């Protein structure tokens, strides 16, 4: 047996080990791995575990639960005690119950003398319930043991040693035991106090238990030893610590040697399972004064570890003797780590079988790991902790459970903390609700309570039999613990640590559930639906025509195009049209005229007698060269997707899959973060030297507020007399200076605040306030002057100068920053597209670091009211006709500028306030749509259909094509994302994907790009910390960062770097994370395949869709670490995760 000196040396050594940096790092990492492994197991096996429970007839309700930590004197609830006291007042009111100071008092006299009205007894006057006043106040808590605030009533009702021989106390305990016996699944280990005041304590306790028949098969006793030596020493009841120990243990040794000397004590000892040591741990430990209990005569209490060791060695000696005599032995299960010094847990670790509380292990992770390895049990009492030392929300119990520590739930003191007739079930119920514990979790905790308890092994085996057979949870726990022990043993034997490859959990497929099979089928159908739409964006489906380097070299095409039901269709030649009405397809051929006609024109033109005898025949209406998905089919598919967003089982399935993906990333990053950083250090590059594309930035808001302020100031200083309006506010040839005067602005003195373009709190949930920020100085006229292309008399010169001075200058200075500037084509004028192209050409706004994106604002109703368009088809015609015409005849003088502009456009966008309530999706043809703005999905379909037709036509001519990248899911209804899923190549924002796990998972499976703008989104719709960007990124969605509108949001000259920097700081993104986001931006962008190959390395990729998906299948082919700064292990992890999901769905 170790001496006290040995114990002190071991204690100091343990503290030293657990304080060593390398071991702290090792232990923290192992605990994190345990946490990750459990989360994986739960996600993958949750349903399987529940099926096992049902199959084998297991559930929490039928599982035996042991209250492993409950003090007998507070084992009843306050209501139970109150009703008991009331009953005794009614039946024993005149009975003498107290003899004190030579006087005897009846029960009624006691209440009367203390001014307690027995007619108005209630829980409030009983005053034993812990409240806010007990937090961090153990002294206040101890006072609550006194019913009605009277210590004499505690003596009468809650003590064994009193005038009545503890009769009332025994009666209420008997009621508790009867309840436990009646329940069959609830067992207890009540704690009896033996103080060590004198050696007679044991005999008196045994006599009280036996005389009142308090032994029960539903209970095992634990003897708690309060650390009250200092009080007994002050009262001269003991003269040193050895006497205190002798009073505690000598009667037990004597009885073990001669049980016949006190048969009642001998029997009591057979019913005791363990010893405990209790008291307020917040009290500072005294300095060690003596090593020997004989020498400890100090009035001060010995330190905690002194108690621990000497109680422990006496238990060990007693156990050795009892074992030799064939008698039962005892465990040591002290209170430890509830509060006070963390060092108590070190002391207990060396000597304890299990402990009570242990919540301070959350502060000492190295020791927490050792408690896991040794499986020392923790009987945790969260409701007790909540009232005394630690708020429930901060309790580490769920963390301990996840990591596999041997934890059980216990009640501690129901009198102070619980309200129901079954405090232990109440403890479980609160934990289940607060921490969302499943039935399997609860059963595991109950299992732990059985294994921790001191009930006879045959009883425990009987209770555990049903729990241990075919139990995936327990098998997982055994497997993980075994692997951890094996890892430590290999480390100790070889001195070399090799991280094992983790088989985190056996894969039990969700397909085993009927609703799971149905959900998987729906997800597969959704992916196939999208493929039927997006195939028009894939070059594999286009005509095989060599690309054209210069569109001007192309001759005029014989193909013709015509709008039919809102969608342009391309035909082989003009011969398919009616000879009389070239807007209508021919379906009649007059053989005498030799011309095709539509049926109506043929009838009208052949009314003349001489033509009525013309020979004619019906012909098939020509079919367009490229068949699109009909709108009627889109409606059906869209409605099916909307239904999927509301499908409960599908959302449940997808939510689990998304969690698995997130956990895989966290686990991977935890294990390989250092390795990743080592890989990128070896390349000599960094995040700042990788290409970053701002995939979503509005051209007229691409400068910052300060840059606009500086520009306007410069113009007012150097060009104030320049004429900027032909007619303005009733005057002709108005100068810039005069413009400010007419708008009642001081052109000589203004500030950034006066400019009023930066968005602030006033814009949150107020889109109209945000839109108002488009107007410098809150004047729409100045927006027209400085930030528009066509709506001014200077032909958009100021906006062009702004972009060249600030945006293009930034691109010239940094080879690693690229932009995709969005410019509006609204559709109110047929010549708008040509006008914008002329503005671009005139101002030399084609830059190698930028690609243009055409954004189509959803403002049809405005133009309809203004009379600019007759119907929705008219607006679509105005938008797309110029592009088709420039594709048909790019060399025409009127088309040359537009042709060159189209060659530098990579995508179309659709923008507008998604918060507006949509009309119902209607089957109406756009040519007859004269109502308000069409629904979001209606807009998206007709934009998509025209882009698809244009792409096929341009591909036929060897010209560049476009992707569709609409604003989608920033706010509004999640149905917008259902439409975007079908027709978009990528989207902007997408924050509402958090509302539909099914859609979010589908966006992952199809790798639809998402340009996230956390700074922009935080201004109007979502606080920055609530942005889903980090969540999307971790799960593996195809997401990148973009700026949206630097004019309103950013402060630096490099807004995209500001966006990345903010995200990296607030979300703790490391260089590899940042580089992967930047890498995504390049793949998502519309820059050419040659440019992407130069920036990323690897093989040439053809377009955004196939490049991302191909990367997930062949990660080594599409990047060069020296250029991207994205480690191959990161890409391989993404590829493995994607393959894992494909296998799950059966889509390998």
DSSP per-residue string spanning 807-868 = IIHHHHH-TTEEEEEEEE--SS-TTHHHHHHHHHHHTT---TTEEEEEEEE--HHHHHHHTS
Q: Are 1066 and 1058 in contact (CB under 8 A)?
A: no
3-state secondary structure of 621: coil
Q: How many residues does the chain have?
A: 1148
Contacts of 977 by beta carbon, 8 Å cutoff, 6+ apart: 645, 968, 969, 987, 990, 992, 993, 996, 999, 1003
Token pair 């440019």 in the structure block, residue: 1091
Q: Are 447 and 185 in contact (CB under 8 A)?
A: no
Question: Element (H or E) spanning 597, and its range?
Answer: strand 595-597
Q: Is 827 left (phi over 0), alpha (psi -120 to 50) or beta?
A: left
Contacts of 838 by beta carbon, 8 Å cutoff, 6+ apart: 897
Q: Are 862 and 817 in contact (CB under 8 A)?
A: no
Q: Which two tokens stand for residue 119?
A: 């007619």
Can you give the C-alpha Rg of the chain in angstroms? 40
Q: Which residue(s) pair with 590 in the sheet?
A: 595, 616
| Strand order, beta sheet including 595-597 | 595-597, 588-590, 616-618
3-state secondary structure of 207: helix
Rounded Cα distance between 1113 and 1136, Å, is 8
φ and ψ at residue 442, rounded to 5 degrees: -65, -40
Q: Which residue(s) pair with 597 in the sheet?
A: 588
Give, as one character, the DSSP assignment of residue 295. Answer: T
Q: Which two tokens stand for residue 192?
A: 């009896």
Question: Element (H or E) spanning 588, and its range?
Answer: strand 588-590
Rounded Cα distance between 399 and 849, Å, is 50
Interhelix angle 1104-1113/1128-1145, rounded to 10 degrees, is: 90
Q: How far is CA 497 from the centre of its chain?
A: 32
3-state secondary structure of 579: coil
Question: 221: closest CA among 197, 194, 200?
Answer: 194
Rounded Cα distance between 748 and 1090, Å, is 50
| 874 annotated active-site | no
Question: 701: closest CA among 798, 752, 754, 774?
Answer: 774
As to burial, measured by CB atoms within 10 angstroms (0-12 exposed, 13-18 middle, 19+ buried), residue 948 is buried
Angle of CA points 143, 148, 149, to nearest 5°: 35
Strands 723-728 and 692-698: unpaired
3-state secondary structure of 404: coil
User: Over the range 1123-1143, which residues count as b (16 or more CB within 10 Å of their CB) and which as e?
Assistant: bbbbbebbbebbbebbeebee
Rounded Cα distance between 459 and 457, Å, is 5
Of 357, 418, 874, 952, the active-site residue reads 357
Rounded Cα distance between 865 and 682, Å, is 63
State the SS3 of 524-575.
Answer: HHHHHHHHHHHHHHCHHHCCCCCCCCCHHHCCCCCCEEEEECCEEEEECCHH
Question: 309: closest CA among 323, 327, 288, 281?
Answer: 288
Catalytic residues: 357
């Amino acid at each position: 047996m170790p001496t006290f000196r040995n114990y002190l040396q071991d204690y100091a050594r343990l503290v030293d080990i657990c304080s060593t940096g390398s071991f702290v790092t090792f232990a923290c990492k192992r605990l994190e791995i345990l946490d990750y492994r459990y989360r994986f197991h739960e996600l993958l096996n949750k349903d399987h575990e529940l099926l096992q429970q049902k199959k084998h007839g297991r559930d929490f309700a039928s599982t035996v639960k042991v209250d492993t930590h409950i003090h007998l004197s507070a084992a009843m609830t306050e209501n139970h005690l109150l009703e008991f006291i009331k009953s005794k007042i009614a039946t024993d009111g005149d009975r003498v119950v107290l003899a004190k100071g030579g006087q005897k008092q009846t029960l009624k006299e006691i209440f009367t003398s203390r001014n307690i009205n027995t007619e108005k007894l209630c829980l409030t006057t009983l005053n034993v319930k812990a409240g806010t006043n007990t937090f961090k106040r153990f002294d206040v808590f101890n006072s609550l043991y006194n019913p009605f605030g009277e210590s004499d009533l505690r003596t009468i009702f809650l003590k064994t040693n009193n005038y009545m021989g503890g009769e009332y106390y025994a009666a209420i305990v008997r009621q508790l035991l009867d309840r436990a016996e009646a329940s069959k699944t609830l067992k207890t280990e009540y704690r009896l106090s033996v103080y060590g005041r004198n050696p007679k304590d044991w005999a008196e306790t045994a006599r009280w238990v036996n005389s009142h028949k308090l032994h029960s098969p539903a209970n095992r006793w634990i003897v708690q030893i309060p650390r009250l030596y200092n009080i007994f020493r002050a009262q001269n009841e003991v003269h040193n610590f050895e006497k205190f120990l002798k009073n505690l243990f000598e009667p037990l040794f004597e009885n073990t040697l001669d049980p016949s000397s006190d048969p009642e004590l001998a029997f009591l000892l057979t019913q005791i399972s363990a010893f405990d040591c209790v008291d307020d741990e917040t009290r500072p430990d005294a300095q060690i004064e003596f090593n020997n209990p004989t020498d400890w005569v100090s009035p001060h209490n010995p330190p905690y570890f002194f108690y621990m060791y000497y109680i422990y060695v006496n238990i060990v000696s007693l156990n050795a003797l009892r074992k030799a005599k064939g008698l039962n032995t005892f465990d040591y299960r002290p209170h430890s780590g509830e509060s006070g010094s963390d060092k108590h847990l070190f002391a207990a670790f060396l000597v304890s079988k299990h402990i009570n509380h242990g919540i301070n292990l959350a502060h000492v992770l190295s020791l927490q790991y050792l408690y896991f390895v040794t499986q020392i049990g923790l009987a945790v009492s969260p409701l007790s902790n909540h009232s005394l030392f630690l708020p429930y929300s901060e309790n580490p119990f769920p963390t301990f459970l996840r990591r596999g520590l041997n934890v059980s739930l216990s009640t501690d003191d129901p009198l102070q903390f619980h309200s129901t007739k079954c405090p232990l079930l109440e403890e479980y119920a609160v934990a289940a609700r607060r921490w969302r514990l499943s039935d399997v979790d609860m059963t595991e905790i109950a299992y732990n309570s059985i294994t921790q308890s001191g009930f006879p092994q045959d009883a425990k085996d009987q209770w555990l039999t049903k729990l241990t057979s075919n139990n995936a949870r327990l098998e997982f726990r055994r497997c993980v613990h075994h692997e951890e022990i094996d890892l430590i043993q290999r480390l100790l034997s070889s001195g070399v640590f090799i991280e094992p490859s983790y088989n985190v959990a056996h894969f039990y497929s969700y397909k085993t559930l009927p609703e799971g099979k149905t959900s998987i089928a729906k997800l597969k159908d959704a992916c196939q639906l999208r493929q039927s739409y997006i195939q028009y964006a894939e070059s594999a489906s286009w005509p095989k025509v060599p690309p054209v380097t210069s569109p001007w070299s192309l001759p005029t095409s014989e193909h013709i195009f015509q709008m039919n039901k809102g969608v342009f269709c391309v035909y082989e030649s003009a011969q398919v049209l009616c000879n009389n009405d070239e807007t209508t397809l021919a379906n009649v051929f007059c053989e005498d005229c030799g011309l095709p006609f539509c049926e109506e024109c043929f009838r009208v033109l052949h009314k003349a007698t001489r033509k009525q005898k013309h020979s004619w025949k019906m012909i098939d209406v020509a079919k367009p060269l490229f068949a699109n998905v009909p709108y009627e089919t889109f409606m059906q598919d869209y409605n099916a997707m909307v239904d999927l967003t509301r499908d409960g089982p599908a959302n449940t399935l997808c939510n689990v899959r998304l969690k698995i993906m997130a956990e895989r990333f966290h686990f991977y990053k935890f294990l390989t973060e250092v390795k990743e950083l080592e890989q990128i250090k070896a390349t000599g590059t960094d995040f700042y030297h990788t290409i970053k594309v701002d995939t979503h930035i509005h051209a007229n808001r691409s400068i910052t507020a300060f840059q606009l302020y500086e520009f306007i100031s410069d113009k007012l200083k150097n060009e104030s007399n320049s004429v900027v309006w032909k007619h303005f506010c009733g005057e002709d040839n108005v100068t810039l200076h005069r413009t400010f005067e007419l708008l009642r602005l001081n052109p000589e003195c203004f500030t950034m605040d006066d400019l009023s373009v930066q968005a602030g709190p006033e814009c949150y949930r107020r889109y109209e306030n945000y839109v108002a920020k488009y107007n410098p100085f809150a004047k729409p006229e100045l927006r027209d002057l400085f930030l528009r292309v066509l709506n001014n008399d200077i032909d958009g010169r100021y906006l062009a100068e702004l972009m060249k001075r600030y945006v293009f200058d930034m691109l010239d200075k940094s080879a690693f920053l690229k932009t995709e500037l969005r410019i509006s084509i609204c559709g109110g004028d047929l010549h708008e597209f040509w006008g914008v192209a002329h503005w671009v050409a005139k101002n030399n706004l084609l830059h190698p670091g930028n690609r243009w994106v055409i954004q189509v604002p959803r403002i049809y109703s405005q133009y309809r009211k203004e009379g600019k368009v007759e119907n929705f088809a008219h607006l679509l015609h105005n938008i797309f006709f110029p592009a088709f015409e420039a594709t048909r005849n790019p060399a025409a003088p009127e088309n040359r500028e537009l042709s060159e502009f189209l060659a530098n456009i990579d995508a179309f966008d659709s923008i507008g306030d998604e918060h507006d309530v949509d009309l119902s999706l209607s089957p109406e043809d756009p040519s007859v749509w004269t109502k308000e703005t069409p629904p979001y999905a209606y807009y998206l379909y007709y934009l998509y259909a025209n882009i698809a037709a244009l792409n096929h036509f341009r591909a036929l001519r060897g010209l560049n094509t476009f992707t569709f990248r609409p604003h989608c899911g920033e706010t509004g209804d999640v149905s917008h994302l259902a439409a975007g899923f079908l027709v978009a190549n990528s989207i902007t924002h997408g924050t509402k994907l958090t509302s539909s796990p099914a859609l979010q998972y589908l966006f992952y499976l199809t790798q639809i790009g998402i340009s996230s703008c956390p700074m922009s989104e935080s201004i109007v719709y979502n606080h920055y910390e609530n942005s889903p960007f980090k969540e999307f990124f971790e799960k593996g969605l195809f997401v990148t960062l973009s700026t949206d509108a630097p004019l309103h949001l950013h402060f630096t000259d490099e807004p995209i770097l500001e966006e990345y920097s903010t995200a990296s700081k607030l979300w703790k993104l490391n260089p590899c994370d940042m580089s992967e986001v930047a890498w995504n931006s390049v793949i998502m962008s519309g820059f050419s395949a040659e440019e992407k190959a130069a920036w990323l390395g690897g093989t040439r990729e053809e377009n955004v869709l196939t490049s991302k998906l191909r990367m997930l299948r062949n990660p080594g082919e599409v990047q060069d670490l020296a250029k991207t700064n994205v480690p191959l292990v990161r890409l391989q992890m993404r590829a493995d995760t994607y393959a894992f999901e494909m296998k799950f769905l059966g889509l390998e």
